[in-house]
Amino acid sequence: MALALPEHGFRLRRRAVAQLIGEAAERYGLKVRQRARIRDLSMGERQQVEILKLLLSGARTMILDEPTSLLAPQEVDALATVLRELRDEGLALALITHKLADVRAMCDRVTVLRGGVVQMDGIDPSTLSDAKLVEAVVGRHLPQIRPRPRQLPVDPTPALEAVEIDVEAERGRLVLHGVSLTIERGEVVGVAGVSGSGQRELAEVALALRSIRSGSLQVLGFDMCDGRPDKALDAGAAGVSEDPLATDVVHGLTVTEHMALSRLEVPKRALGYDWRALERAVDALPEAHTLKIAEGRRLLSTLSGGNVQRVLLCRALARDPGLIVAAYPTRGLDLANVMATQEMLLRRARDGAGVLLMSEDLDELFLMSDRIVVLHGGRVVASVDPERTERHDVGSLMLGLAA
Amino acid sequence: MSSVRGAVPVRLTAGWEGLRGHPALARAAGWALFVVVALTVLFPAFDVNWQDCLIRTTPFVFCGLAVAVPARAGLVNIGGEGQFQFAMVVVTAVVLLLGDSLPAIVLLPMLVLAGLVGGAAWAGIAAALRVLVNLNEALCTLLLNFVAPLILAYFVFGPWRDASAFNLPVSKQFPDAARLPTYGLTQLHLGILFALVAAVVVWVMLDLTRWGFGARVVGGNPEAARRAGLPVNRIVFVALITGGALAGVGGMVEVTGIEGVLRPNIGVGFGYIGFLASWLVGHRPLDLLGSAFLLASISVAGDSLQINAGLPSTSVYVLMSVVLLVVLAFRGLATTRGTA
């Protein structure tokens, strides 16, 4: 049996520590099973243990970052009670959350940040309507929607067809529940959702980087249930990933060498590759010019984020893919490149590629998508037509309110 | 090496500035300089036999290559020692089975093959565990180092013990057909050439082939390799057993070139010194020829120092580790300054 707390002092004096914990738990109304192992506790119980740990270390100010994201509804209520008690004890609490319900249940004052800018500061949430809050979170100004003629699919095989897929993350937690999604050729489907709602997993599944637990998944007509990224690439899927520094940049490889890492046809020479020929081929790509990618001989790991992003975009588009999974494709780019990238993705869609677009920027989603699906807690909660929907409604859906 | 020798005088006259842009040439020039100084000044001064040095370099090169190949794929093979030992057992088995009936021209290639297979098989245990259950290959290869000598000991104390050897735990003497040819009256054997060829082959494999490129990607960022659709597990597996096979050839060369019998304590520590040699040069196979020669010189000089200066034999290991630590520390300094 392990103690749920870090021990104090030189020697581990179990009994004294246990007593201390018991007293503190009682004082703050926390229920902590002292003799249980942490891994056997539920998420809510673990959280109470963490809070108790902070209290015992003498904390008077606490910052809780998305404390409810992993909790069941009853546990959320329990947490709210505990936090109110702590407040009455005289502690200062800062709560970071993306759920309006949390704000209402737990907070005395609310501050809204959007894009690093304070939108409203220190206002009592009970004086605000949901509509006001949502507006502060997602912004008000309406983007100029470019009218784009909707075309019939060029090829009847959908670019992506997912039926009722469940996807497990590490330790068996479900991160996608029963998601069904079809992307026709020539269609841009945007995915909206607060971060951590399952977008990353959806993008990875579409490139067969994850295997699915149940349901069926086809990419460009090929079965992709078993998570074999090489098969997805061969079928004609390409992607720009969410965190290229972690998942795409190889230390010590040049820009040109990275181009070879996508099943792009690389000219061979003797036992190796003909890097010069590849460099020439890359230079000849229209995307390489539009995006002004870095010189082929430079090491990718030494380039800035925006430069890396441009190289990887160019690589994804170079193969003329049938399905483009673009996770935050314009992140880190300056305005000119953002527009060039959006233009290129739309042109690819017009030429018959299916595009799955993730973005934090609702403007971008509204501008580019033929359809927006909203993810919340790993489920598709809505699929809407951007031309007939207010961004405010999408915002409500993202935050888990019924539209 | 011949191109290196040609290049050195030209480059030296062009001055060090000329070498700046060509790190590979600069390193080659450095090693060539060291070899020349060693042969003309150091060896006579310390009474070291250059032939002994070359002979000792050979197993270090093989054991170093056994580290360099997996290292390219981001793997740590500390098991050169065990792969070397196990390969000697396999080679001896083939010698005892077929040694008397075959001519050297048939037998020796078979023994090389036996060494390759033996070393690869021993590394294959670690490689399979790594690929199937994601067991750390460094730990696994290291632990297998303690097992291989026990297998060797079982055979030489048991079934293979030569009855005519006065109760010593040795196998029968290998027949002449199972001995590597030597050059004239010297002790220099064909294995030295094998080591040279192996280093060049490994260099080609790692730096010029498509497989080598895949290994670099796996070593640089396994997730990126997976996303690029590369067969990561296959590359990991092949890299490890190739390393093992190279250590195995080292064992074959040692037992057929030098010893001519199987006994315990052949080449003890060679695997670890090869490990040092490879780290010393950042796992570059051609530079490894230089670092292996350096460590071999220290090791051989240590023998004569024991006799002439009365130094304890362990002083050799102290010197080797000091060399490695200094080199690694400076490399660490250079990289931290580079990023700062």
Q: How many helices (H) and strands (E) does chain A have?
A: 15, 16
Tokens of A244: 């290229």
Q: Is B78 on the interface with A (CB under 8 A)?
A: no
In a domain, B206, yes or no: yes
**Total structural domains within chain A:** 2
Which pLDDT score is estimated for B8? Answer: 43
Question: Residue B3: pLDDT above 70?
Answer: no
**Total structural domains within chain B:** 1
> Is residue A111 within 8 Å of residue A133, measured between CB atoms?
no
A44 and A177 housed in the same domain? no
Question: Which residue in B309, B258, B325 sits closest to B48, CA to CA?
Answer: B309
Angstrom distance (rounded) from CA A94 to CA B22 = 57
Residues of B in contact with A252 (CB under 8 A): 216, 220
A10 and A83 housed in the same domain? yes
Question: Residue B304: pLDDT above 90?
Answer: no
In a domain, A179, yes or no: yes
In a domain, B3, yes or no: no
Which pLDDT score is estimated for A145? Answer: 46
A119 and A175 housed in the same domain? no
At residue B108 the predicted structure's pLDDT band, cuts being 50, 70 and 90, is very high
Angstrom distance (rounded) from CA A312 to CA A169 = 26
In a domain, A98, yes or no: yes
Question: Which residue in A170, A153, A220, A206 sits closest to A373, CA to CA?
Answer: A206
Q: Is B337 on the interface with A (CB under 8 A)?
A: no
> Is residue A62 within 8 Å of residue A54, measured between CB atoms?
yes
Which pLDDT score is estimated for B196? Answer: 94
In a domain, A252, yes or no: yes
> Is residue A366 within 8 Å of residue A191, measured between CB atoms?
no
A111 and A225 housed in the same domain? no
Per-residue model confidence as pLDDT tens for chain A (403 residues) = 344 445 444 555 667 777 777 777 777 767 667 767 776 677 677 777 788 777 777 778 888 887 776 666 667 777 888 888 888 888 888 888 777 778 888 888 888 887 778 888 888 888 887 777 777 777 655 444 454 555 555 667 888 888 888 888 766 678 888 888 989 888 899 998 877 788 888 998 888 888 888 888 888 888 888 888 888 888 888 888 888 888 888 988 989 888 888 877 778 877 888 888 888 888 888 888 888 888 888 889 888 888 898 899 899 888 888 899 998 888 777 777 888 888 888 888 888 889 999 987 788 888 888 899 998 888 888 888 888 888 778 888 887 776 4
Angstrom distance (rounded) from CA A128 to CA A100 = 11
What SS3 class is residue A215? strand
At residue B11 the predicted structure's pLDDT band, cuts being 50, 70 and 90, is very low
Across-strand partners of A358? A191, A327
| Backbone torsions φ then ψ of B43, nearest 5 degrees | -60, -50
Angstrom distance (rounded) from CA B298 to CA B320 = 7
Residues of B in contact with A316 (CB under 8 A): none
- Return the CATH number at A239: 3.40.50.300
A388 and A333 housed in the same domain? yes
- Return the CATH number at B138: 1.10.3470
Q: Is pLDDT larger for residue B340 or for residue B44?
A: B44
Which pLDDT score is estimated for A140? Answer: 58
Distance from CA of B244 to the nearest CA of A (A): 23
Tokens of A381: 């909660």
Domain limit, last residue, from A138, A173, A197: A138
Angstrom distance (rounded) from CA B283 to CA A29 = 60
A249 and A362 housed in the same domain? yes
Query: Rounded to an integer, what is the distance from CA A18 to the centroid of its chain?
Result: 40
Distance from CA of A295 to the nearest CA of B (A): 19
End-to-end CA distance of chain A: 48
Q: Is A270 on the interface with B (CB under 8 A)?
A: yes
Cβ neighbours around B145 below 10 Å, total: 20
A115 and A181 housed in the same domain? no
Tokens of A326: 């673009």
Q: Give the structural domain span for A260.
A: 160-398
Angstrom distance (rounded) from CA A285 to CA A13 = 69
**In a mutagenesis test of the A interface, which of B72, B226, B227, B284 is the best target, namely the one with the most A β-carbons within 10 Å?**
B227
Burial readout B274-298 (b: 16 or more C-beta within 10 A, e: otherwise): bbbbbbbbebbbbbbbbbbbbbbbb
At residue B124 the predicted structure's pLDDT band, cuts being 50, 70 and 90, is very high
Q: Is A233 on the interface with B (CB under 8 A)?
A: yes
In a domain, B99, yes or no: yes
Q: Is A250 on the interface with B (CB under 8 A)?
A: yes
Say which residue the tokens 């090489």 belong to.
A230
What SS3 class is residue B85? helix
Give the contacts of A86 (CB within 8 A, at least 6 positions apart): A28, A51, A55, A62, A93
Domain limit, last residue, from A106, A138, A170: A138
A262 and A355 housed in the same domain? yes
**Which of A86-90, B17-21, B79-83 shows the lowest mean pLDDT across its residues?**
B17-21
> Is residue B245 within 8 Å of residue B128, measured between CB atoms?
no
Cβ neighbours around A100 below 10 Å, total: 20
In a domain, A150, yes or no: no
DSSP summary character for residue B183: S
Angstrom distance (rounded) from CA A303 to CA A305 = 7
Say which residue the tokens 């330790």 belong to.
A171
In sequence order, what DSSP letters do the residues of A26-92 get, joined into one string? HHHT----TTS-GGGS-HHHHHHHHHHHHHHTT-SEEEEESTTTT--HHHHHHHHHHHHHHHHHT-E
Q: Is B228 on the interface with A (CB under 8 A)?
A: yes
Tokens of A9: 């002092």
Which pLDDT score is estimated for B337? Answer: 58
Across-strand partners of A64? A95
Question: Which residue in B254, B114, B239 sits closest to B189, CA to CA?
Answer: B254
**Which of A168-182, A226-240, B223-237, B264-278 shows the lowest mean pLDDT across its residues?**
A168-182
Given an 8 Å threshold on Cβ–Cβ distance, is A209 in contact with B231? no
End-to-end CA distance of chain B: 37
Angstrom distance (rounded) from CA A252 to CA A236 = 28
Q: Which H or E run contains A360?
A: none
Tokens of B129: 């565990």
Domain limit, last residue, from A71, A103, A138: A138
Distance from CA of A182 to the nearest CA of B (A): 23
Given an 8 Å threshold on Cβ–Cβ distance, is A251 in contact with B221? yes
Q: Give the structural domain span for B286.
A: 48-339
**Which of B150-159, B251-260, B287-296, B300-309 shows the lowest mean pLDDT across its residues?**
B300-309
- Does the complex come out with an ipTM higher than 0.90? no
Query: Rounded to an integer, what is the distance from CA B305 to the centroid of its chain?
Result: 24
In a domain, A47, yes or no: yes
A93 and A226 housed in the same domain? no
A133 and A214 housed in the same domain? no
Tokens of B326: 């200094």
Tokens of B102: 């075959």
In a domain, A279, yes or no: yes
| Backbone torsions φ then ψ of A188, nearest 5 degrees | -105, 120
In a domain, B38, yes or no: no
Question: Which residue in B91, B83, B98 sits closest to B242, CA to CA?
Answer: B83
Say which residue the tokens 């460099």 belong to.
A279
In a domain, B251, yes or no: yes
Which pLDDT score is estimated for B45? Answer: 75
Question: Residue B90: pLDDT above 90?
Answer: yes
A124 and A205 housed in the same domain? no
